[in-house]
Amino acid sequence: MYNSTRIRLIEPTDAAPIAAHRVRDFEAFRSWEPAQPADFFTPEGQAERIDKLLAGYQAGTVWPGAVVADGQVIGQITVGGILPQPHLRRGSVGYWISSVAQNQGHAGQALGLVLQVMTDELGLHRAEASTNLANLPSQRVLRRNGFTPYGVAHSSIFLNGSWQDGLLWERILSD
């Protein structure tokens, strides 16, 4: 289980498996993620999204990763909002694991691996994340990887027709 999890830079060929996961898991993720246009759930829409993510990677503002287990893409982990300036050096982590691969340790392992990327490859000092207040599984993943909550962002994300609060998390990478 844990040993089979790895992360790598997302690739254009990941569009079809990601779209398939997102279609199947639409209801499961609905409580945690904002509404998306219909093309988000198609291979073509995912290909366009991946192209934008890779352009951001080339610009140094994002590190978009695929989570892979047993040779199959099972989710995504992304470091966004990268601020590489010497006085900032931080990024924000977001991730999801397909429902067929949840509760097997993949999210925790992927987060640990991306923290290494943030430190070793990106040279960042601080990792940030945000969860819905009710997303206890994601909060457990963050805690297990050394994150601590530091505040609440009130009305920070529009989900299911209303503005929701987010719990803010941080980890200093040199710790």
Return the HEC string of 113-132. HHHHHHHHHCCCCEEEEEEE
Q: Which is nearest to 98 in space by CA: 107, 89, 86, 90?
A: 107
Q: Residue 53: its pLDDT value, please?
A: 97
Per-residue model confidence (pLDDT) at position 165:
92
Taking the C-alpha atoms of residue 114 and residue 75, their distance in angstroms, rounded to an integer, is 13
Question: Which domains does the chain carry?
Answer: 2-172 (3.40.630.30)
What's the pLDDT score for residue 57?
A: 97
Q: What is the pTM of this model?
A: 0.91
Res. 175: pLDDT tops 70: no
Q: Give the H/E segment covering residue 46.
A: helix 43-59
Q: Is the pLDDT of residue 68 over 80?
A: yes
Q: How far is CA 145 from the centre of its chain?
A: 14
Lowest mean pLDDT among 3-17, 27-41, 121-135: 27-41
Q: How confident is the model at residue 22 (pLDDT cuts 50, 70, 90)?
A: confident
- Beta bridge mates, 172: 126
pLDDT, tens digit (0-9, with 9 covering 90-100), for 100-155? 877 888 999 999 999 999 999 999 999 999 998 988 999 999 999 999 999 999 99
Task: Say if residue 81 is exposed, middle or buried (CB neighbours under 10 Å; 0-12, 13-18, 19+).
Answer: middle
